[in-house]
Structures are given as structure tokens and as C-alpha cells.
Amino acid sequence: MKTLKDYAEDINKCSKCGLCQSVCPVYKETGNDCAVSRGKFVMLDGVLKGDLKLDKTINKYLDLCLKCGKCKEFCPSDIDVCRIFETAKYEYVKKTFWGKIVWMLESKYIFGCIIKVLGRVQKLLNNSRNSNKIAACSKALPAQRPLKLIYFKGCVNNVYPKVENALKKVLSNYDVELIEKDFECCGLPFLSSGNIERFEQVKEYNLSLLDETYDYILTDCASCEDTLRDYGLHKVINIADFIAQNPKKFIFKKPVKITFHKPCHLKDINFLSQILKMCENAEYIEMDGFDDCCGFAGEFALKNNEISRAIGKKKARNILKTDADYVLSLCPSCTLGLHQGFIANGNFKHPKIKNLIEFLALADEIN
């Protein structure tokens, strides 16, 4: 595992150009230079030189980050910003009592068991869940074999499988074999809390389950997708890209208006124009700042709630301007962020918030 010292050269690559300020949602909201990567690098450089202590003040600024990666995308020095913050966080948290408590709660035995128990309760309550494998569609060409998809369903589906059920409903119209495995969390929340050891543990475990041939690892969450790519996996696809590459017709009897919020961890939304062409009676209205962060990012919303709500409010206002019936996304954390934004903005009545695949599953006909 790399230490903060190992990143000294990368930290020094920061030219203080300030380009990250123009994209950082937290900087835009607070105007605080310590919120953005440039300011954080100045502090971490001070730590490495022995001028500053890696203490709770610096940790507070490390937490003042959505891990959205927007600064990394724009940084001309190509610095792996988030990895450096995670490493600094790890070095701080491992020295603290509360940090050790949080890491204990994140262990396989506690965090893993909670997810498993909640999942089992959910299964008992919902006996009508779809079977593990989706049968090959009868319209399949005889010479073709079904696409073999390993479904990485993520923690939220393990507890509350609303999106999973929608995905299975849509995929029942495709010639695919959907394989489920006993994956753990992708590990992103552990990186946020600086628990790099736990991240490495779940990564190793999840990779060990990929012991058969497959065409794709399928996700319905942009953050899981991004983290799986971070494992070094290449055949990872999100459900929206999959649909875009495998066209069907989604017929809505009544006209509906939709808008789309791009999660920060989603690499692009090229799928959207393709999917819109497949949807009969659905009108798309692009919102201003469709790729602006929703401000949630799990732990960030807990630790910096006022800023998180302020970022969410702006998003809510942009969504409302579209007058859409549905605001779609591709990440359960964004779903919570959008809810938070509407509530913070005082909109208890607002467009329905759904994962894109949930919306497609609402179609009256899929063929």
C-alpha cells in the first residue's frame, strides 16, 4: 500500500493553476480554497515537509470533498487527486480512536452481516422476486448463444431491490443469462472513510468470484461501475450502455416528459440519445447543469450537510425548470441526493426520481 510520502512527487506536480476551482462543486458553493484540490495539496505538502500536522483540521478539509473526480478530469498535471486524499485520510484515521470504531463497523463481520441480514429479510418479504437466471428470449437467433452477464447489484439492491427488479424485468426481453454472485460492496464507501485496507479486502474477494468466462459485468450504478473499473476490470458495462448497444422499443401509451441527471462517476451519457430514440412517447428536456453534482456523496452529506443541501437545492431548481414528470439517474446515492435537494428547496411535490432502468421498465410495451 502506498503511503502519503510516496505521493510527494504527485503533490508537487500541482502548479497551483487553479483550474480545479472552476469545476469543484464544493469550492463553487463555499469559495474555500481548502475545499478544492489545490488547497488540499498545499496542506499535504506542509505535512510532508513537517510544517503542519496531519490533524483533525486537515482531516476536516479532507472530508470537505465529494470525491466526484471533476478536478482530476480537468487537472492539466494529471494528478490522481482522490487516491492522494484517500491515502492522507487513511494515515490520519488509523491513528484515531473514532476512526478505528468506524473501521470496525465497516468490517466484513458487521457491515457485511448487516447487508446480508437486511437482504434476507427483504427476500422473505418479497417471495415474488425474479429467479436468478433470465431465460433466453424465444426470439433469439438459434446460432447465437445468450450473452453471459455477471450482475454486480451493489449494496442498495441487496437491501431494497427495486432497481434490480426493474432491470430483470427489462432484461427478460433480451437473450441474456444473468448470473448472480455473492459479491460484497464494491468498496467505494470504504475509500471515502480512508479504510483502504478494507477496500483492498473487498476488491480481492470480489475479484475471486469472477472465476468463469463472461461477456460483461453488468451494473445499474455509476459508482459501482467506476469502482469496478478501478479494480482494473475492463468488461464492465452499465445497464444504460447495454440497452443502447442492444436496441429495443419502449412504448409508453401516455406521453411523458423526462430529464436526466448525470452522476459524477458516470463517464459519459452517450447512451442517452440512443435510448431516447427507442422510447415512443417520451420527451427529453435537458436540465441546466445536467452534469452538476447532486451534492450527496454518502458520508459527505452527513459531515457537511449544509453544503450538501445547498448544492442539492440548485440541482432541484434546475430540474423543476424542465417541468419533467421524471428525473432519471443511474446511481442510488444520486437518488437520495435529488430527494434531499427537493426537500431542502421546499418541494415536497416534485418530479418522480428514478433510475433510468426503472423508467424503462414502466413502458407499456417492450419489444
Nearest distance, CB of residue 2 and ligand SF4, angstroms? 18
Question: In angstroms, what is the C-alpha Rg of the chain?
Answer: 21
Nearest distance, CB of residue 176 and ligand SF4, angstroms? 35
Closer Cβ to ligand SF4, 169 or 265, answer by number: 265
Nearest distance, CB of residue 89 and ligand SF4, angstroms? 12
Q: Which residue has the cell 433510475?
A: 355
Closer Cβ to ligand SF4, 24 or 331, answer by number: 24
Closer Cβ to ligand SF4, 44 or 68, answer by number: 68
Closer Cβ to ligand SF4, 46 or 69, answer by number: 69
Question: Please, which residues have CB within 8 angstroms of residue 98's CB and are 6 or more apart in sequence?
Answer: none
Residues that bind ligand SF4 (CB under 6 A): 14-20, 23-26, 36-38, 65-71, 74-77, 79, 81-82
Nearest distance, CB of residue 21 and ligand SF4, angstroms? 7
Nearest distance, CB of residue 103 and ligand SF4, angstroms? 22
Comparing C-alpha atoms, which of 176, 287, 333 is closest to residue 239? 176
Closer Cβ to ligand SF4, 10 or 164, answer by number: 10
Cell numbers found for residue 74: 480537468
Closer Cβ to ligand SF4, 14 or 202, answer by number: 14
Closer Cβ to ligand SF4, 31 or 76, answer by number: 76
Alpha carbon distance 224, 50 (integer Å): 37
Closer Cβ to ligand SF4, 42 or 251, answer by number: 42
Nearest distance, CB of residue 54 and ligand SF4, angstroms? 18
Closer Cβ to ligand SF4, 26 or 150, answer by number: 26
Nearest distance, CB of residue 45 and ligand SF4, angstroms? 11
Nearest distance, CB of residue 312 and ligand SF4, angstroms? 14
> Angle at Cα 266 formed by Cα 260 and Cα 269, nearest 5°?
50
Alpha carbon distance 360, 198 (integer Å): 35
Closer Cβ to ligand SF4, 23 or 147, answer by number: 23
Cell numbers found for residue 131: 429467479
Nearest distance, CB of residue 306 and ligand SF4, angstroms? 15
Nearest distance, CB of residue 310 and ligand SF4, angstroms? 14
